[in-house]
Structure 1
Amino acid sequence: MTEEKPSYRLLTGEDTHEFCLRVSDALAEGYVLYGSPAATYDAKAERMRVAQAVIRPEVPAVR
């Protein structure tokens, strides 16, 4: 059984090289960026947290 890719994904994590690779992997799988990335500083962990939404291009955007 083939697992269907979700039409929308929100990738989140620390602002690291690995996070950038996760976004790059999603793009290589055929997803496209949806909206601007978000970033916030987690003072408790003393780290930047980031998020990027991606969608499959064949799925129409709902606004």
Structure 2
Amino acid sequence: MRLYRFLSGPDDSTFCHKITAALNKGWHLYGSPTYAFDGETKSMRCGQAVVKDVDGIDYDPGIALSDY
């Protein structure tokens, strides 16, 4: 099964750590990162899609993607 997640966060080191943690759990970057202004918080936000292949498990909409 192939899993997909979109990780987002503030434009600071916590976002970089979130992506680094995902990469170290076997996730791979998918596409280009995004960068946008959040008008509500008046701050910049980052986003990055990641994917991961997991063998031997069938997809179920109830799975917790963060467990992988």
- For the aligned pair, the TM-score class normalised by the smaller chain equals 0.7 to 0.9
User: How many percent of aligned residue pairs carry the same amino acid?
Assistant: 39
Corresponding residue for residue 8 of structure 2: 12
- Give the unaligned 5+ runs of structure 1: 1-5
Report the TM-score when normalising by structure 2. 0.69
Whether the aligned pair in 2 keeps the contact of 1:32 and 1:57 (CA below 8 Å) is: no
State the distance in 1 between where 2:3 and 2:29 align. 12
State the distance in 2 between where 1:30 and 1:8 align. 12
2:37 maps to 1:41: yes
- Give the unaligned 5+ runs of structure 2: 56-68
Name the SS for the 2:36 alignment partner: strand
Name the SS for the 2:7 alignment partner: strand
Report the TM-score when normalising by structure 1. 0.74
- Which of the residues 25, 28, 33 maps onto 1:32? 28
Instruction: Give the CA deviation at 1:10.
Output: 0.5
- Which of the residues 28, 38, 48 maps onto 1:52? 48
Matched residues, number: 54
